[in-house]
Amino acid sequence: MANLGIPQNTIDVLQKHNFHFQKKYGQNFLIDTSVLERIISAAEITEEDCVLEIGPGIGTMTQYLAEAAGEVVAVEIDKALIPILEHTLSEYHNVTIINDDILKVDIHQIVEEKNAGKPIKVVANLPYYITTPIIMGLFESHVPLKSITIMVQKEVADRMQVGPGTKDYGALSLAVQYYAKPEIVANVPPNCFIPRPNVGSAVIRLTRYDKPPVEVADERKLFALIRASFNQRRKTLVNGLANAAELHVTKEQVAAALEQMGLPATVRGETFTLEQFAELSKLL
């Protein structure tokens, strides 16, 4: 089968199958062999690995994964792409194609069936509108994971790895950094895709921690606290948290907790580190 990382080969496949891009699925297919190689090397794929690929498209990256990994499970939501995938991946016997929405798939079951419950690696070229729910879904469901290596919108990749006090810092930065070590491994311009997106992209690798860098009694409470702190960025933490109905805390309780931490009642959430949020969560 021809290498789909070469633009003309991708165009040939799309024309042969009379494929039309679906705006609602945010489809942008990668056509750059050097970027594909970077992704495979960043994800450190070996024959020992079982890889879950989200949104394989026409199978461009799937071909590279199938060459490098022991087992590949590709989950594609667009049923129009299934016959194309069956064609482009017909030579590979280590690939399973599932036509479903990744947010509804039982990934635990895939890990059990395909990798005997051992941690998998996730690789994906994600549509921008659904990046956060997919990443958070993978982490929060505690699927056994080694790493997630994904192509996302450049600004989302930046947001995942920045620290306190920057404009991009927010709930996503903290959630990702609680579960994993983020590292941008490549910046990818729009001309590497068909059709060309309007924004630059980046490949980021999230290496899962064995255990989170902070200890909290209740993870859900920690993230409710973090979300409330950034829901109203311009507000002080005292006001932001007291306004969040699901937290059931008063301004006085928050101010007292901050005082115990040696901080003024005027601090804002965007200055807080993950460690400080964990400590505040314990005190409240």
Domains contained in the chain, number: 2
Q: What is the pLDDT of residue 241?
A: 93
- Hey, what are 7's tokens? 């633009």
Based on the domain organization, do 106 and 184 belong to the same domain?
A: yes
Q: What is the pLDDT of residue 51?
A: 98
Task: Judge contact between 233 and 270, C-beta under 8 A.
Answer: yes
Of 208, 243, 259, which residue constitutes the final position of a domain?
208
- Hey, what are 84's tokens? 């194309």
| Number of residues that this document lists for the chain | 284
Give me the domain span that covers residue 193.
7-208
pLDDT tens digits, 62-110: 999 999 999 999 999 999 999 999 999 999 999 999 999 999 999 999 9
Based on the domain organization, do 137 and 269 belong to the same domain?
A: no
- Nearest C-alpha neighbor of 70 from the set 133, 114, 117, 37: 114
In a domain, 213, yes or no: no
Q: What CA–CA distance (Å, rounded) separates 72 from 61?
A: 11
Based on the domain organization, do 200 and 273 belong to the same domain?
A: no
Task: Judge contact between 123 and 158, C-beta under 8 A.
Answer: no
Of 208, 234, 250, which residue constitutes the final position of a domain?
208
**CATH number of the domain that residue 259 is part of:** 1.10.8.100
Q: Is the pTM of this model over 0.85?
A: yes
Three-class secondary structure of residue 199 per DSSP:
coil
Q: What is the pLDDT of residue 5?
A: 85
Based on the domain organization, do 153 and 235 belong to the same domain?
A: no
In a domain, 214, yes or no: no
In a domain, 204, yes or no: yes
Q: Please determine, for residue 18, whether its predicted confidence score (pLDDT) is greater than 90.
A: no
Q: What CA–CA distance (Å, rounded) separates 207 from 182?
A: 7
Based on the domain organization, do 40 and 132 belong to the same domain?
A: yes
Torsion of CA 106, 99, 69, 200, to 10 degrees: -100
Based on the domain organization, do 180 and 259 belong to the same domain?
A: no
Mean pLDDT, residues 247-275 taken together: 93
Based on the domain organization, do 177 and 202 belong to the same domain?
A: yes
Based on the domain organization, do 202 and 252 belong to the same domain?
A: no
3-state per-residue secondary structure call for 66-111: HHHCCEEEEEECCHHHHHHHHHHCCCCCCEEEEECCCCCCCHHHHH
Q: Please determine, for residue 1, whether its predicted confidence score (pLDDT) is greater than 80.
A: no
Three-class secondary structure of residue 241 per DSSP:
helix
Based on the domain organization, do 115 and 161 belong to the same domain?
A: yes
In a domain, 2, yes or no: no
pLDDT tens digits, 181-201: 999 999 999 999 988 888 999
Q: What percent of the chain has pLDDT over 70?
A: 100
Q: Please determine, for residue 38, whether its predicted confidence score (pLDDT) is greater than 90.
A: yes
Mean pLDDT, residues 9-19 taken together: 85
Residues 6+ apart with CB under 8 A from 195: 21, 28
29 pLDDT tier (thresholds 50, 70, 90)? confident
Of 150, 176, 208, which residue constitutes the final position of a domain?
208
Cis peptide before 7 (omega within 30 of 0): no
Q: What CA–CA distance (Å, rounded) separates 85 from 80?
A: 10
Strand order in the sheet with 145-153: 95-99, 71-76, 50-54, 120-125, 145-153, 201-208, 180-188
pLDDT tens digits, 200-230: 999 999 999 999 999 999 998 999 999 999 9
Q: What is the pLDDT of residue 252?
A: 93
Give the CA radius of gyration of the chain: 21
Based on the domain organization, do 112 and 225 belong to the same domain?
A: no
Kind and range of the H or E run holding 252: helix 251-260
